[in-house]
Amino acid sequence: MTLDDDEKALSKVTARRDALLQRARTLHISTSSNSGENIEWGVAPYIRRNNVFYIYVSELGGHVRFMLDKRPVLFSIIEDEKVAKNIWARIRLKFTAEISEIKRGEAEFNAICDDIGDHHGSVMTVIREFSDFHLFAIDPKKGVIVTGFGSAFKVSGNDFKLESRLSSNG
Amino acid sequence: MTLDDDEKALSKVTARRDALLQRARTLHISTSSNSGENIEWGVAPYIRRNNVFYIYVSELGGHVRFMLDKRPVLFSIIEDEKVAKNIWARIRLKFTAEISEIKRGEAEFNAICDDIGDHHGSVMTVIREFSDFHLFAIDPKKGVIVTGFGSAFKVSGNDFKLESRLSSNG
C-alpha cells in the first residue's frame, strides 16, 4: 500500500466509525461475575454528549448489578444485520470505559434524563421515577473497530481515535 | 390475569421467539478470561439445524480463543434496532449452551460448512480453508427471552421452551 492508499483506508474507516456512532441507538454490555464463571449481557439505549455515553438501566438486569459491583465491562456498538453489506463483517466497535454512576439528586441527573427522554421517547417518563434504575456515564478508554472483512483498527480515547491496524478482526 | 390472558400472553411470546429465530442471522458471543477480568465479545453468522446452532469463526478473535479455552460463554440473539417497536425493549434471547468443536476431517464438517455457505454467501468459500477458523456446534441449555417491556421468560432446552415469567427483564 502506498501512503495515499493508507490515507484513503483511514478516511474510509473514520467515516464508517462516525456513521455507526451517529446511527446506532443502543449499547451492548458484556460483563462477568467475580470468578468470571457467570457471564451477563444486556443492551441499553444511549445518548452521547461530549463523547461520553449515558445509559439509564435497571438493576433487575444481572449485567447492571455487575456494573454496580464494578466488575469489568466491555461495551459494543454494532450496525443492524439488515444494513450490513456483508453479514460476516458487520461494522462494530467494542471498548472498555471508565464508568461512573450519576445519582438522583446530582445536578446532572435531571438534564441527562431529559435528554434521554427527548432522544428515546416516552418510556423514559414512566421509568424515570423507578428506584431500580441507575444512570451511568460511560467514558471510553480503548477498543477496536471492525469496518470490513480483515479491516480492524485499535482505537483510543472517547473520540475513538484510530491508532493502528490489527492483523485480525480483534 | 385470567387463564385465557395467560395463554394469550404465552402464545404471543412463543410467536415472537420463533420470528426472532427465523429472522436473525447472527449470534452474539460474550465470554471472559480465567480471572474474569478480561471480557470478550464478538458476533458470528449462524445456521440452526435440529435446534443446534453452528458458527464458523476465527481464533484471531479473542472471544473465539476463550471458547477454545472452554471459558463460560453467554450467547445472545437480538432483533435489529430498526425493527424494534420499542427501543427500550428490543426482542432478545440470551442463553448458555453446550459447545463442541467439529474438527476438519470429521464427517459433519463439510456438510455444515456447505450449509453455512448456502445460507450466508460466498465469503465461506474464501475462509473455508483458513486454518485459524473453527466450526462450533452450540446446543442451548437455558436462558431468558425478553419480548417487551417487563415481559421476560425463562427458557430451557434447545427449543427454548418457555418456563416461567420473570419479574424483571433478566
Q: What is the pLDDT of residue A58?
A: 95
- Coil, strand or helix at A117: helix
Instruction: Band the pLDDT of A168: cuts 50, 70, 90.
Output: low
A64 touches chain B (CB under 8 A): no
Interface test with A, best of B35, B39, B57, B73 (most A CBs within 10 A): B39
| CA end-to-end distance (rounded Å), chain B | 21
Q: A with B: how many residue pairs have Cβ under 8 Å apart?
A: 123
Domain hosting A118: range is 3-162
Q: Is residue A169 part of a domain?
A: no
Taking residue B13's Cβ as centre, other Cβ atoms within 10 Å add up to 21
Domain-located, residue A168: no
Q: What pLDDT, on a 0 to 100 scale, did the predictor assign at position A169?
A: 54
| B83 in A contact zone (CB under 8 Å) | yes
Q: Is A124 within the bounds of a domain?
A: yes
Taking residues A151-166, report their average pLDDT.
94
Cβ–Cβ contact A92 with B under 8 A: yes
Is there a domain that residue A54 lies in? yes
Name the percent of chain A lying above pLDDT 90.
Answer: 84
pLDDT tens, position by position, B118-159: 999 989 999 999 999 999 999 999 999 999 887 899 999 999
pLDDT at A148: 85
A56 part of contact set with chain B, CB < 8 Å: no
Asked whether residue A170 is assigned to any structural domain, the reply reads no
Residue carrying the nine cell digits 448456502: B118
Q: Is A158 within 8 Å of chain B by CB? A: no
CATH of the domain at B117: 2.30.110.10
Q: Does B121 touch chain A (CB under 8 A)?
A: yes
Closest by Cα among B92, B148, B61 to A152: B61
- pLDDT of residue B1 exceeding 80, the answer is no
Please give the pLDDT value at position A3. 64
Q: What is the pLDDT of residue B166?
A: 87
Is A149 inside a domain boundary? yes
How far apart CA A93 and CA A75 sit, in angstroms, is 8
B37-60 pLDDT tens trace: 899 999 999 999 999 999 999 999
CA angle at A20 for the pair A158 and A121, rounded to the nearest 5°: 90
- Name the residue of chain A whose CA is nearest to B123's CA: A88
Question: What pLDDT, on a 0 to 100 scale, did the predictor assign at position B71?
Answer: 96
Among chain B residues, the shortest Cα distance to A117 is held by B88
Cβ–Cβ of B37/A39 closer than 8 Å?
no
User: CA-CA distance, A147 to A155, in Å (whole number)?
Assistant: 12
Report CA-CA distances (Å) from A17 to A12, A75, A77, A146, B72: 9, 15, 10, 9, 30
- Domain tally, chain A: 1
User: Rounded to whole angstroms, what are the CA distances from A151 to A70, B35, B76, B83, B126?
Assistant: 32, 30, 24, 28, 16
Question: Cα separation of A124 and B166, whole Å?
Answer: 22
Place B3 in a pLDDT band, splitting at 50, 70 and 90: low
Of B36, B76, B127, the CB nearest to A36: B36
- pLDDT (0 to 100) of residue A35: 83
For residue A138, tell me if it sits in a domain.
yes
pTM for this structure?
Answer: 0.95
- B93 CA to chain A: closest CA distance, Å? 10
Of B76, B88, B123, the CB nearest to A86: B123
Question: A166 or A158: whose pLDDT is higher?
Answer: A158
pLDDT per position as a tens digit, B66-124: 999 999 999 999 999 999 999 999 999 999 999 999 999 999 999 999 999 999 998 99
- pLDDT above 60 (res B170): no
Classify residue B170: in a domain, yes or no: no
Q: If we measure between CA atoms, which residue out of A36, A24, A149, A6 comes closest to residue A95?
A: A24
Average pLDDT over residues A1-26: 88
Could you report the per-residue pLDDT of A69-113, keeping only the tens digit for each?
A: 999 999 999 999 999 999 999 999 999 999 999 999 999 999 999
Chain B contact for A14, CB < 8 A?
A: no
Q: Which residue has the higher pLDDT, A2 or B159?
A: B159
Confidence band for A150, pLDDT divided at 50, 70 and 90: confident
The answer, for A141 touching chain B at a CB cutoff of 8 Å, is no
ipTM of the complex as predicted: 0.94
